[in-house]
Structure 1
Amino acid sequence: MEKETGRIEGFSDGVFAIAITLLVLDLHIPEENSITNGNDLLIFMKNQWPTFLAFILSFFSIFIMWVNHHKIFKQIYSRNSAIMFANGLILFLVSAVSYPTALLARYFNGEASSVVVAIYTGTFVLINLAFNLLWFLASRDKKLLRPGITDQAIKKIHNNYLYGLPVYIIALLFSFWIPSVSLIIILGLWIFWALSSGKIEMSTT
């Protein structure tokens, strides 16, 4: 069976690459003549820690999403309009990650911290839902998937994405209460996705 998703994957890779590159635009160097010695530079960098934290979280989140996107399309061999639009929704949300990242970097230390963390975590809730939608649309017709894939493997992939949703929602709820805990949960989630992406490949071989 010939794989029909090459153009979708190529276009998606380009969007992921642009989205992950845009994140670095939030990292700024000091204004000219504002730094007179090494201590000034260290203080400036220390004060920028929310920016560095937001960059790290978002970079690895997008990177791991790209890894999982690659692995899910190793199982999808054919495409239809529903799959293309579901994939487009993922790309739309991924390309928007730079905006909540910028908000988080600028306002995390202020009174609006709970709101910006809620916007940030809410974005990833939507991305998780979009991944679940993509796999649901692809797996409901086995003819669209890799020849020889088993029902057990299809279910494992479905559960792998579905299990992340309640954790993302918990992170969203914590953002209104203890924003820092919400970010710790997000950090734990991308570690989970990094580990579970290997399970996707193992469960389908």
Structure 2
Amino acid sequence: MEKETTRIEAFSDGVFAIAITLLVLELHVPLIEETGGGNSLLKKLVAQWPSFLAFCLSFFSIFIMWVNHHKIFKQIYRRNTPLMFANGLILFLATCVSYPTALLSSYYHTASAHVAVAIYTALFVCINLAFNLLWWIASQDRQLLRPEITDEGIKRIKRNYLYGIPVHTLAFILSFVAPTAALFLCVALWIYWAYTSGKLDLKSK
């Protein structure tokens, strides 16, 4: 079967690359007037730790999204309109990551940290729902999938993405009472997805 999704994947790769690039714009070099030189520059850099934390979290989250997107499209060979729009939703949400990242870097060490983390985790709830929607559309029509994929393989991918919905929802709820714990929960889920991404390389029958 000829693969019809090459252009979709190439376009998606470009969008993911742009989304990651946007994150670095939130890292700012302290002005000389603010530091006065010497050790004060180091103090200013240390004070910016929420920005570095937010950048690292968002970079690896988008990277893991890209890895999983690449893996899932190894199983999708054909396209239809709903599939293309579901993929577009994932890309839209990926480009939105830079904004809650900026909120996180600016407000994580303030009394409004719970609001910033809630917005951040809410976005990833939406991203997880979008990935589930993409696979649901693809798996509803076997004609869209790689011919060799098995029913068990389809269910395995579905289960892998379904785990994220309750975990990210729990992180969103937790963000209002324990923002740091909510972020750790998100990191734990990303580590899980990074670990299980190899399971999406399904073997032929």
Match of 1:53 in 2: 53
Distance 1:186 1:29 in 2: 28
- Using the TM superposition, name which of 92-101 and 188-197 deviates more: 188-197
Q: Render the CA deviation track for 1:24-73: whole Å, top value 9, x for unaligned.
A: 00111111233344421221111111111100000000000000000000
Matches within 5 A, 1:17-166: 17-166=17-166
Letter in 2 for 1:89: L
Q: Percent identity?
A: 63
Match of 2:174 in 1: 174
**Runs of 4 or more off by more than 6 Å in structure 1?**
none
Match of 1:13 in 2: 13
Match of 1:186 in 2: 186
Distance 1:77 1:55 in 2: 34
Q: Render the CA deviation track for 1:66-85: whole Å, top value 9, x for unaligned.
A: 00000000000000000000
Aligned-pair Cα RMSD in Å: 1.0
- Using the TM superposition, name which of 37-46 and 132-141 deviates more: 37-46
Structure 2: gaps (5+ residues): none
SS in 1 for 2:30: coil
Distance 2:36 2:112 in 1: 32
Distance 1:40 1:194 in 2: 38
Letter in 1 for 2:102: A
Structure 1: gaps (5+ residues): none
Letter in 2 for 1:82: P
Letter in 2 for 1:113: A
- Using the TM superposition, name which of 183-192 and 96-105 deviates more: 183-192
Q: Render the CA deviation track for 1:136-191: whole Å, top value 9, x for unaligned.
A: 00001111100110000000000000011111111111100100100111111111
Distance 2:49 2:181 in 1: 16
Distance 1:91 1:83 in 2: 13
Letter in 2 for 1:148: E
Letter in 1 for 2:168: Y
Distance 1:37 1:187 in 2: 36
TM-score (norm 1): 0.97
SS in 1 for 2:79: coil
SS in 2 for 1:176: coil
Letter in 2 for 1:93: L
- Using the TM superposition, name which of 56-65 and 35-44 deviates more: 35-44
